[in-house]
Amino acid sequence: MLILQKEEMKPEIKNCQNCQKDFTIETEDFNFYEKIKVPAPTWCPECRLIRRQASINTWSLYWRNCDICNERAMSMHSPDKKIKVFCPKCWWSDSWDGTEYGMDYDPSRPFLEQVEELKNKTPFVSTESLYSSLKNSNYSNGIAWSKDCFQVFWADYCDNVCYSSMLNSLKYSSDCLRGDKSELCHGSVDFINNYRTFFSDQTGECVDVWFSRNCYSCTNCIGCVNLRGASNCIFNVKYSKEDYIEKVKELKLDSWDSLQELNKKAHEFWLTQPYREYSGDSRNVNSTGEYIYECRNSKEIYIGQELENCKWCQFVTVASTKDSYDYSGWGNKAELMYDSVQVGEGVSNIKFSYYSTNDVANLEYCIWNTSAKNNFGCVSLKRKNYCILNKQYSKEEYEKLKEKIIADMKVDPYIDKVGRKFFYGEFFPPEMSLFPYNKSNAMRFFPKTKEEVLALGYDWDDAESPAHSTTIKSENLPGTIAETTDAILDEIIECSNCKRGYKIVQGELNLLRKMGLPVPHECPKCRENERFARMTKPGMHHRDCDKCGIQIYTPYAPEDPKIVYCVKCYQAEFA
């Protein structure tokens, strides 16, 4: 019998429906889309990422009363947003499951229009955190299994941490970003297995390291770059143990003014030393991206841990994830994920969905589904299967109606306010986001002006955080923590950068005393912005290695003044 082999799709250049720029769909991409039975996307990879990130909010929090118990709680949702919001205790309770809001499908209307109607009826949880696993950590978001944390975001297993993001097993630390399995760290970015590391980037297995970059297994180093196994070094100059101790005394690391001077000098020195082609480890195989670790056959990844056969995935920080495209957070045994965001923990075959967790599978166009399987277009649904628009069906009824809706979506698309068409196979339209663009995660990584945002069909919020009258200017703060009394807790300090008022909280003061650091002169938001500015952003570029001249694929654009080496040259000189 003659068996005809299906011809592979050839690479195809498409024009993005959103930004009108050309992008290429490769043969491997077509193979993936065929595998999960979705059409090829009409938006380019960057626009798809921005659209997903605009649908979630991690860092913009408000006070809002629960619509059941009326208790005031921190919320991702502004009190001005006309939706139902429950505090975590009420949302996760067994008193409701979401089917109370079930709707019949109306074939005369676009399906996504009906999902939007359902979304305006169902209650949303105030924060993304797993509240039952938290102790004294109510003023945080996207956090689980932690205690005594304040203003901590996207974190697990943390203890006594404040003003920090993207963490795992961090203890007694503050003002950190992307910290893992470390203790007594402050002002540092991208580090693992550290103890007492301050104002440093890309470090690991370090003890008592200050203002250093890309240093590993180092002890007692200040202002150093690209060192391995070093000790008693200042700006890459080696000292005897006795001389190092004397030099440290001269540097006055407990003084605010001295720290500012050292910070300036260190960052100037950093720019004179090479950067690695990308941030990651040597266990990656056939993979590209930034901040990638133990990845195999994965391309265009931004912050990924143990991904296999994946592409255009971001913030997938919990192992492992397989066979996924356009997936933004967070992993933990995830597979066959497509165009979804903030979905994780034993999840499989999820498409065009967000904020869903804990053993969910076969979801499409779903928002806030938990422990649920085989649902289509469901919102705030718990422990239910075979539902469409939150209405329960038998398996046979579900399959039949789902196929009809998909067929309808292919010929009757949702058309948004700027005229873009959303057929089956596209993520939710920007105008259906729960959050204004400037308060969403998209603003963090892809900042835009109000005019740009509105032209792209996203919403914008002009409201500012409440301003408070200040009682002391930052320049009048004590120069060291030894000079700082508990009276600082009663002050409202004027930020040296944005001039808005901020306070020092008791937990923060305790940590500063424990680490011997002076009170910061900038507000938490400005400090947070400075840390994120030290990270490279999503997106890769072609440029030449500044040593051997070969072309490399790197997060550093050709116009970036940094010295960038290919992996081979970097490892030959510094590994």
pLDDT of 33 reads: 98
Q: Give me the mean pLDDT over the 217-233 stretch.
A: 98
Q: What percent of the chain has pLDDT over 70?
A: 99
Cα-flanking dihedrals φ and ψ of residue 405, to 5°?
Answer: -65, -45
What whole-number distance in Å separates Cα of residue 436 and Cα of residue 388? 27
Q: Contact, 77 vs 62, CB < 8 A? A: yes
Q: In this predicted model, what pLDDT tens digit does every residue of 246-287 receive, in sequence order?
A: 999 999 999 999 999 999 999 999 999 999 999 998 899 999
Q: Which of 341, 318, 335, 422 is nearest to 35 (CA)?
A: 335
pTM of the full predicted structure?
Answer: 0.95
Angle at 397 between CA 394 and CA 400, to 5 degrees: 145
Q: Which of 53, 101, 117, 120 is nearest to 355 (CA)?
A: 53
Question: Which tokens hold the place of 512?
Answer: 């500063």
Backbone CA torsion sign across 53, 58, 61, 64: positive
Q: Give the type of residue at 498.
A: C
What whole-number distance in Å separates Cα of residue 158 and Cα of residue 184? 12
Q: In this predicted model, what pLDDT tens digit does every residue of 276-334 receive, in sequence order?
A: 999 998 899 999 999 999 999 999 999 999 999 999 999 999 899 999 999 998 899 99
CA–CA distance from 159 to each of 148, 167, 462 (Å)? 6, 11, 35
Query: What letters, b where the CB count within 10 A reaches 16 and e where it falls short, cover 327-355?
Result: bbbbbbebbbbbbbbbbbbebbbbbbbbb
Cα-flanking dihedrals φ and ψ of residue 328, to 5°?
Answer: -120, 85
pLDDT of 5 reads: 53
pLDDT of 130 reads: 87
Q: In this predicted model, what pLDDT tens digit does every residue of 422-455 receive, in sequence order?
A: 999 999 999 999 999 999 999 999 999 999 999 9
Peptide bond into 330 cis (omega under 30): yes
Question: Which tokens hold the place of 412?
Answer: 């009757």
Q: In this predicted model, what pLDDT tens digit does every residue of 61-112 receive, in sequence order?
A: 999 999 999 999 999 999 999 999 999 999 999 999 999 999 999 999 999 9
Q: Contact, 392 vs 99, CB < 8 A? A: yes
Q: Is the pLDDT of residue 364 over 70?
A: yes
Residues with Cβ within 8 Å of 32's Cβ and at least 6 positions away in sequence, in order, are 311, 323, 325
Query: What letters, b where the CB count within 10 A reaches 16 and e where it falls short, cover 126-147?
Result: bbbbbbeebeebbbbbbbbbbe
What whole-number distance in Å separates Cα of residue 206 and Cα of residue 280? 17
Q: At what angle do helices 395-411 and 111-119 cross, to 10 degrees?
A: 120
Q: Contact, 361 vs 375, CB < 8 A? A: no
Q: In this predicted model, what pLDDT tens digit does every residue of 2-61 receive, in sequence order?
A: 454 567 789 999 999 999 999 999 999 999 999 999 999 999 999 999 999 999 999 999
Q: Is 1 exposed, middle or buried (0-12, 13-18, 19+ CB in 10 A)?
A: exposed
pLDDT of 8 reads: 78
pLDDT of 430 reads: 97
What whole-number distance in Å separates Cα of residue 78 and Cα of residue 234? 47
Q: Give me the mean pLDDT over the 176-202 stretch.
A: 98
Q: Give me the mean pLDDT over the 128-136 stretch.
A: 92
Q: Is the pLDDT of residue 530 over 60?
A: yes
Residues with Cβ within 8 Å of 560's Cβ and at least 6 positions away in sequence, in order, are none
Distance linking the first and last C-alpha atoms of the chain: 58
Question: Which tokens hold the place of 171?
Answer: 């203890």
Q: What percent of the chain has pLDDT over 90?
A: 95
